[in-house]
Structure 1
């Protein structure tokens, strides 16, 4: 029985690679897609930061515009308290006394204390 031998001219170059398409996307495609997603994300982040800065600016200006109203309300409250204190003092002592030696108005300081103290 004759032995099975390779062909006389040989097989040619040895083919060690399979002719199959590479799975998935090419690296350049993945890199471009990732870059596009990150660019969009940074764009949206920048828009969000701008929006937060604008809201903070609006909040600050609204507080600045409310200061005169709050100051007037506090002044009315101080006048009401001052007149009530003078009336109470006149009722108890019979006359109003000067605490300070100058005729200047001294703004009173009130300390707000909690009604029930817990330890």
Structure 2
């Protein structure tokens, strides 16, 4: 693949991941992700909004709003049990893999560009 093709591929990856970057850019959503690391995971049934509220500085409506956005991009999953919703971090999402690939592609291209300067 040529350098120009690699740059185009990186540009396309950025465009495809734009919504994920937007969602991850918010500090409150970042804080929710950190908080969910320490709460019951998917295999343990997940956690209710009230339990998350106890661990954060956010109100219950704010948490619900942020969870909805995180769910839309596949970072958070949800299961229903009657009228109760249980949330958990979703690991089965292509976006985490795409983000990792984008990082690797950027590193690879930067290394290639830096090596060009040493010839």
TM, length-normalised to structure 1? 0.25
Higher RCO structure (Cα 8 Å, ≥6 apart): 2
Report which of the two structures shows the higher radius of gyration computed on alpha carbons.
1
TM, length-normalised to structure 2? 0.25
